[in-house]
């Protein structure tokens, strides 16, 4: 275990099993269709890479990078697009892939923004859901795990851009945040 980690919340094995189930469920739900997976950088990159290898229907990719204004552990509500999609999503089946839904502000913005571009359908898949923190009414169609209100890192999620490469989801020791 990494020396900065206080406890592992989700092990590699738990994540692998659940990601496999999600991929299979998505493949069933979109059977006969093509899906455009929209990954939200950077947090979703690891989850996305594992998820799509468990999807068996034709899958295409595009990416967006968005940033919420404010400190690293709090979302303020304002969202700006750092990198937009490369192509039009009009008439396509779009699946947004996120690492975590926290306040829900990022997703609310993304859903409104992408819906205005005329997709055939728009759904959300998130690895983690932290419902206790929600300030807006938004819910993912596919959820990996519901987690308590603790700040987590690993498997794509960062603290000040660190720890994204941990293969599990973990809570850091308090002195790391205070450090």
CB atoms within 10 A of CB 135: 12
CB of 31 to ligand PRP, least distance (A): 29
Residue 98 makes contact with ligand PRP by CB under 6 A: yes
Tell me the window of 7-15, 84-92, 102-110, 168-176 that interacts with ligand PRP (CB under 6 A): 102-110
Helix (DSSP H) and strand (DSSP E) numbers for the chain: 4, 9
Residue 154 makes contact with ligand PRP by CB under 6 A: no
Tell me the window of 13-21, 49-57, 99-107, 115-123 that interacts with ligand PRP (CB under 6 A): 99-107
CB of 121 to ligand PRP, least distance (A): 21
**102 annotated active-site:** yes
Sheet with 5-10: list strands edge to edge: 5-10, 169-172, 152-153
CB of 122 to ligand PRP, least distance (A): 16
Contacts of 49 (CB under 8 A, 6+ apart): none
> Dihedral through CA 47, CA 50, CA 53, CA 55, nearest 10?
-40
């Amino acid at each position: 275990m990494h020396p900065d980690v206080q406890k592992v919340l989700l092990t590699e094995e738990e994540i692998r099993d659940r990601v496999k189930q999600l991929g299979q469920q998505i493949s069933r739900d979109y059977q006969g269709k093509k899906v455009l997976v929209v990954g939200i950088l950077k947090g979703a990159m690891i989850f996305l890479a594992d998820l799509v290898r468990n999807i068996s229907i034709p899958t295409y990719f595009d990416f967006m990078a968005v940033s919420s204004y404010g400190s690293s552990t709090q979302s303020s509500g304002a969202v700006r697009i750092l990198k937009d999609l490369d192509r039009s999503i009009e008439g396509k089946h779009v699946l947004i892939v996120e690492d975590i839904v926290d306040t829900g502000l990022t997703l609310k913005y993304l859903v409104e923004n992408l819906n205005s571009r005329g997709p055939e359908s728009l759904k959300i898949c998130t690895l983690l859901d932290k419902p206790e923190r929600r300030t807006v009414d938004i819910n993912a169609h596919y959820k990996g795990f519901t987690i308590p209100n603790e700040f987590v890192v690993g498997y794509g999620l960062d603290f000040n851009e660190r720890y994204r490469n941990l293969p599990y989801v973990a809570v850091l020791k308090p002195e790391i945040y205070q450090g």
